[in-house]
Amino acid sequence: MAHQLVIVLDFGGQYNQLIARRVRECGVYCEVKSYKTPIAELKALNPKGIIFTGGPNSVYDEKSPHITKDIFDLHIPILGICYGAQLMAYTLGGEVSACQTSEYGKTDTHYDTSSVLFGGIHLPETASSWMSHTDYVSKIPDGFRITAHTEDCPAAAFENAERKLYAVQFHPEVNHTFAGQGMIDSFVKNVCGCVGDWTMAGYAKTAISEIREKVGNGKVLLALSGGVDSSVAAALLAKAVGSQLTCIFVDHGFMRKNEGDEVEAAFKDSGMNFIRVNAKEQFMSKLRGVSDPETKRKAIGEEFIRVFEQEAKKIGKVDYLVQGTIYPDVIESGLGDAAVIKSHHNVGGLPDYVDFKEIIEPLRMLFKDEVRKLGTELGLSPVLVWRQPFPGPGLAIRIIGDITDEKLEILQDADFIFREEIAKARLDRDINQYFAVLTNMRSVGVMGDARTYDYTIALRAVTTSDFMTADFAKIPYDVLAVAANRIVNEVKSVNRIVYDVTTKPPATIEWE
């Protein structure tokens, strides 16, 4: 089944993937494309609507991203956001100027609720929006009308309803904009005419059919980590190709405490072909003395592939390798003109040569919450669906600096205690990801009236819906105190605990 599609054209803004998430929350399928995508290619995709994203540039700078005027003649509804709004105005004959007073953060905005974009969503005539701009539309193009303004921005929103062209200077995709999700819903449904046919039930049916057609009678090897992404991929592949699938769980030695045994126990009675490979020494030999995080990720990514190739030869000719790659992995590893935040071992960390006919990534276009919904739809155990996210490189990227057996044991014990205390406090379903990091810092302490000079453990816990943005979890002080006290007393070579209170952005969820 071909789903209705909305395209997000990426002009380099920080919220671009969040826009796609918001569109999908409306039940409408959405993909992010570069602004450099040829107009003919966009037209061939037959989108119901297009959204121009924000960006850090000025439209009157010739070096900034621009787009041909022809896109406005496709008769496809377009919504411009921030830079995208300015670009629409500038391209169609309006004017964009530097702000006399820039706007950042929550801003009182006055709306014309007769606009289809703002009507019917319980939006008062004055409400807060989230602004972030140093330029503004000083003159709207002919044929447009202003539909919102602020004290310092005379055209906070404008539209040409006849041509179905809409623009907002603020960011409706962020939670700080009152009724922002309603505005996006109004655009994709009331303007674009989308019916909201994007569901995980439909996705599962389509994915299973496509996998069967691609694989045919071939053999499939799945890289199973035991995390939610690879577990859902396994459930999907099992329904698609059954006994043609073999799941390889590579225990690289950087698992959380007791986790290798837990993963094996979870899958041994699943009916899937499950093989556990203990490869700690093989991975450690590649990482001894390595401290750079990107080098770690790439070394681990390559070694994973080498192990899978070795195991595939034992099974017989295997045509396809399956990975649980999800959309945030792709984005952070560099999508189009996007910056590489960090190379995920299963994306940017892959070696140049892979001895498989093809790599299949059935979750590649899904966000984390969509993966969980898909897992539930496939009947996967809630224990697996809600398992704590764990990076493919494991604790190797939660040990800052070089890796040793001693450091690994310290971190496994500290992380186990932190997770145990979170579970005891019944916060494990409220916090989306939580873990310990062994920093490469030693500090002076005192234990038993004696001086110590030991490691600092950092605790990290975040709340997020899509793992593209995240806030630090507001864990009660008494829970943190118990966890910190236990770690210092029960784990050797640790004398200090700190709690990371940084959001994403500017930080990432992981430290490396």
Q: Which residues touch 174 (CB under 8 Å, ≥6 apart)?
A: 15, 18, 130, 180
Confidence of residue 310 (pLDDT cuts 50, 70, 90): confident
DSSP helix, strand, coil percent of the chain (3-state; round to 5): 35, 25, 40
Which pLDDT value is given to residue 390?
Answer: 82
Which pLDDT value is given to residue 1?
Answer: 53
- Digit-coded pLDDT (tens) for 117-138: 998 898 999 999 999 888 999 9
CATH of domain 5-191: 3.40.50.880
Confidence of residue 339 (pLDDT cuts 50, 70, 90): very low
Tokens of 116: 């289809």
- Digit-coded pLDDT (tens) for 446-488: 888 789 999 999 999 999 876 767 899 999 999 999 999 999 9
**Cα(304)–Cα(349) distance, rounded to whole angstroms?**
10
Which pLDDT value is given to residue 336?
Answer: 47
- pTM of the full predicted structure? 0.69
Average pLDDT over residues 321-339: 68
Confidence of residue 99 (pLDDT cuts 50, 70, 90): confident
Class of domain 200-385: alpha beta
**Cα(498)–Cα(312) distance, rounded to whole angstroms?**
44
Better pLDDT: 357 or 488:
488
In CATH terms, are 5-191 and 200-385 the same topology?
A: yes
Q: How far is CA 444 from the centre of its chain?
A: 38
Asked if residue 512 lies in contact with residue 435, where contact means CB atoms within 8 angstroms, the answer is no
Which pLDDT value is given to residue 354?
Answer: 54
Which pLDDT value is given to residue 331?
Answer: 65
What is the enclosing helix (H) or strand (E) of 277?
A: strand 273-278
Tokens of 29: 């399928």
Confidence of residue 343 (pLDDT cuts 50, 70, 90): very low
- Digit-coded pLDDT (tens) for 151-177: 999 999 999 999 999 999 999 998 889
- Digit-coded pLDDT (tens) for 383-394: 788 888 788 889
- Digit-coded pLDDT (tens) for 255-297: 999 988 888 888 877 788 899 999 999 999 999 899 998 999 8
Which pLDDT value is given to residue 194?
Answer: 96
**Cα(481)–Cα(418) distance, rounded to whole angstroms?**
10
Confidence of residue 38 (pLDDT cuts 50, 70, 90): very high
**Cα(76)–Cα(79) distance, rounded to whole angstroms?**
10
Q: In 3-state terms, what secondary structure has residue 279?
A: coil
Which sequence positions are flagged as catalytic? 82, 171, 173
Q: Which residues touch 478 (CB under 8 Å, ≥6 apart)?
A: none
Which pLDDT value is given to residue 350?
Answer: 42
Average pLDDT over residues 91-95: 96
Which pLDDT value is given to residue 110?
Answer: 97
Average pLDDT score over the chain:
89
Torsion of the alpha carbons at 429, 433, 434 and 435, rounded to the nearest 10: 140
333 phi and psi, to 5 degrees? -85, 0
Domain 398-499 is of which CATH architecture?
2-Layer Sandwich (3.30)
Which pLDDT value is given to residue 29?
Answer: 93
Structural domain boundaries in the chain: 5-191, 200-385, 398-499
Q: How many CB atoms lie within 10 A of CB 448?
A: 5
Which of the residue ranges 136-145, 179-188, 335-344 would you say has the lowest mean pLDDT?
335-344
Which pLDDT value is given to residue 381?
Answer: 83
- Digit-coded pLDDT (tens) for 199-231: 999 899 999 999 999 999 999 988 888 788 989
